[in-house]
Chains A and B, each alone.
Chain A
Amino acid sequence: MDENVAEFLRRIILKIPLCEMKTILEAWDFLSEDQLQSINLKQRKEFLAQEVILLCEDKCASLDDMALLDLMYTQFHRHQKLWNVFQMSKEPGGNDVDLFDMEQFQSSFKRILQRALKNVTVSFRVYEKNSVWIRVAWGTQYSQPNQYKPTFVVYYPQTPYVFISSCYLKSTVPLLHQALKVASKHHQMAQLDLRSRHLDSLTAIVFNEYDQTFENYNSTASWREGSLGLKTDLDSKIIHENTEEKVRIHRATQEAFGAYPQPQLEFAQYKLETKFKSDVGGGILADRKEPLRCLVKFSSPHLLEALKSLAPAGIADTPLSPLLTCIPSKKMNYFKIRDK
């Protein structure tokens, strides 16, 4: 095996956590059952990598096989990439009857990239029947592809949506977009102001699948004190004065966020370009005619659940600003705010 390919494989194996090694190698479906059984999973990773390299050499593994393994690793660890969302559109009056052909899409996509750059590694994997994962390693006319800085694309063919991982190599972006548009027979590609590491949350937001209420959920039941977290035990010696208010807050929160679990996002960013407003007259900033530029970023492991719990926890007044509650419905977490 070529030493670059062997090194590439070695680095992938070292990346994979030991507890996932068996699962990922099985899903890769390249080594045989016997070969997989023979791997000693209890040894140090360096030796394990050597063992896998030898097994792959026996089976004459190629760079494309390694690229596919890298793609599988990323599928398992999708949260390690930051995903951007794009929406493609066709020109009106075009031939909408075109049925999607996976083979034709893949060969067209690959051909476009290879014609432009000559040296690219392109891998495809159809996932769960309704999406295709693509890995592209970029080279140039004169140099081999860099396998360590690939771009990943997740395309849902029944929809106009594409999810692309943030790429270090900015110059490759136009070509990638072009290849996607042409291969999928679209004309335009627009980027949404929506970014996150949680690909599943992005798809839930984009396909409006996040508002699935559980079947057994009874929304009126939560109005009872017990589920509002108000305990009136100890012989009713603790009296809650604001139960009406709490019920109102609960209702307002339900209306704003719904009764279902929120999709998981890590941040929301607001770019403000508005004139400074102050209740107190005067001050240095009050007389500025130019808008004040300011960036506000909210971060959280689970931003939407945190926002949902602000009013019930007594940290903020209801109703919350619609700029915060509109994130899933507007499919945005990057906002630019200007004076009207």
Chain B
Amino acid sequence: VGVPVRTWLSRVSRRRPADPSELVSTEDALLQQLAESVLKIDCATELRVHLANSLPLPSNANRPRIDLIVFVINLHSKYSLQKVEESLNHVDSSFFLGKVCFLVTGAGRESHCSVHQNTVMKLAHTYRSPLLFCDLQVESFRAAMAQRLVRVLQVCAGHVPGISALNLLSLLRSPENPPSKEL
């Protein structure tokens, strides 16, 4: 599940606002590592990462607005795909205008894959959202992906002047029907 980036405007006193993002996946270890990589990025705004195994989130009064949801699917686990598909039903449609993306891991070890890459490509296409591939277990790849996510997050939170989440989404869309693999 993606990492939504939330902005934490109201609570923090006049400091640069925090960007909360939501990472949703069944794979706790991967999420934890990715969240740590994201937080290591030295950006001007305050980042907050929420980790969840599935949506909807438990009802909690004081949750700030989410800016980006990243759904993390492990190709080695049909269960992770199933949970993401179930969670998608609980996402408000406004998020699909550039505030959702899919992050797929495990594509490198084909013999361990029980989910076909086409399945996730179709899923991303159905929800008109970008699909990213990354081997989250490799530190350097994870750090590079974390940087990308932070950039996307900043756009979604409205911190990059002149470009909105919807702009970014249409930039990412490839001219042919299948969505592009690379950001």
**A interface list, Cβ under 8 A from B:** 229-231, 234, 237-242, 244-246, 313-317
Chain B residues closer than 8 Å to A239, beta-carbon distance: 48-51
Chain B residues closer than 8 Å to A229, beta-carbon distance: 28
**Closest CB-CB distance, B103 to chain A, in whole Å?**
16
Q: Report how many A-B pairs have Cβ atoms within 8 Å.
A: 58
Residue B97, interface by CB 8 Å: no
Interchain CB contact (< 8 A) of B51 among A238, A244, A313, A316: A238
Report the interface size for chain B: residues with CB under 8 A from the other chain: 25
Interchain residue pairs with CB less than 8 A apart (6): A229-B28, A230-B28, A238-B35, A239-B50, A240-B50, A314-B53
**B interface list, Cβ under 8 A from A:** 22, 25-29, 32, 35-36, 39, 46-54, 57-58, 60, 77, 79-80
**Closest CB-CB distance, A320 to chain B, in whole Å?**
13
Residue in A237, A240, A314, A316 whose Cβ sees the most chain B Cβ within 10 Å: A314
Interchain CB contact (< 8 A) of B80 among A238, A240, A244, A314: A314
A240 to B60, CA, bound (A): 12
Chain A residues closer than 8 Å to B36, beta-carbon distance: 234, 238
Query: Residue of B at shortest CB range from A244?
Result: B58
Contact between B39 and A238, CB atoms less than 8 A apart: yes
Chain A residues closer than 8 Å to B51, beta-carbon distance: 238-242
**Closest CB-CB distance, B32 to chain A, in whole Å?**
6
Known: A234-B36, A238-B39, A242-B58. A314 touches B27 (CB 8 A): yes
Beyond A230-B28, A238-B39, A314-B79, 4 additional pairs, beta carbon < 8 A: A229-B28, A239-B48, A241-B51, A244-B58
Residue in A230, A241, A317 whose Cβ sees the most chain B Cβ within 10 Å: A241
A240 to B54, CA, bound (A): 11
Known: A231-B32, A234-B39, A313-B28. A242 touches B53 (CB 8 A): yes
